[in-house]
């Protein structure tokens, strides 16, 4: 399940408070929350011996009139306290970095067509074939010398034949087509034409639980 961002936004303010508090605690500060400064309560108050008290407000969304008034009131109050510093921390969601390699699905398909079907697929049926590779997503990439190490996942369109060709002819066999999730680990390099090619497919694992579900 992928968490909907609207629920993340709903709780990002509190998440930011917890994270900031943890960072200051690791620096030796004692943390208090929701402490009254003027008319309003500050999100975080960080105290440390022989250091000025740090009053922190977290900004995690656009200012509403009430929120703006709170910031101004606390800021002005803290300015009049010689032993306090006011800080504003803007909380933002991390941006997902999508890694893409052009035509990666075809590179995997071509490699398997040339070097033979992985054992993880071959054991699924009497005769297993990959018809297509789709929806490849890369989760890890590392460049070491001239080799690119890649990990990711995708969907394999499989044709699975149970029984021999003779069994199929007699009606005793079964020919099944399934789209199955897979995970892979591979090594790539540039060929003489500066085109990427897979030189080694270290692993190609099918999510067998998906097939178990289909058979229920």
pLDDT at position 12:
82
State the average pLDDT for the chain: 82
pLDDT in tens, 194-204: 888 899 999 99
All structural domains of the chain? 5-90 (3.40.1350.60), 104-215 (3.10.450)
Kindly report each contact of residues 67-70 with a partner whose C-beta sits within 8 Å and lies 24 or more positions away, as own/partner.
70/40
Of residues 62 and 186, more confidently modeled: 186
pLDDT in tens, 33-91: 998 887 888 899 999 999 999 999 887 766 677 877 887 888 888 888 888 888 877 77
């Amino acid at each position: 399940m992928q968490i909907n961002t609207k629920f993340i936004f709903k709780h990002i303010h509190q998440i930011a408070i917890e994270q900031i508090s943890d960072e200051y605690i690791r620096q030796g500060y004692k943390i208090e929350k929701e402490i009254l400064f003027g008319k309003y309560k500050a999100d975080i108050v960080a105290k440390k011996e022989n250091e000025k008290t740090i009053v922190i407000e977290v900004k995690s969304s656009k200012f509403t009139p009430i929120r703006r008034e709170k910031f101004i009131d606390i800021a002005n109050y803290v300015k009049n306290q010689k032993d306090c510093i006011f800080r504003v921390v803007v909380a933002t969601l991390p941006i997902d970095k999508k890694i893409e390699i052009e035509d990666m699905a075809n590179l995997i398909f071509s490699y398997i067509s040339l070097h033979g079907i992985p054992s993880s697929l071959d054991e699924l049926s009497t005769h297993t074939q990959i018809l297509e590779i789709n929806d490849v997503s890369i989760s890890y990439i590392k460049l070491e010398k001239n080799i690119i190490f890649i990990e990711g996942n995708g969907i394999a369109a499989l044709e699975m034949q149970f029984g021999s060709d003779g069994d199929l002819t007699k009606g005793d066999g079964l020919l099944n087509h399934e789209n199955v999730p897979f995970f892979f680990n591979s090594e790539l390099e540039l060929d003489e034409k500066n085109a990427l090619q897979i030189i080694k497919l270290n692993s190609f694992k099918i999510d067998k639980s998906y097939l178990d579900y289909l058979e229920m």
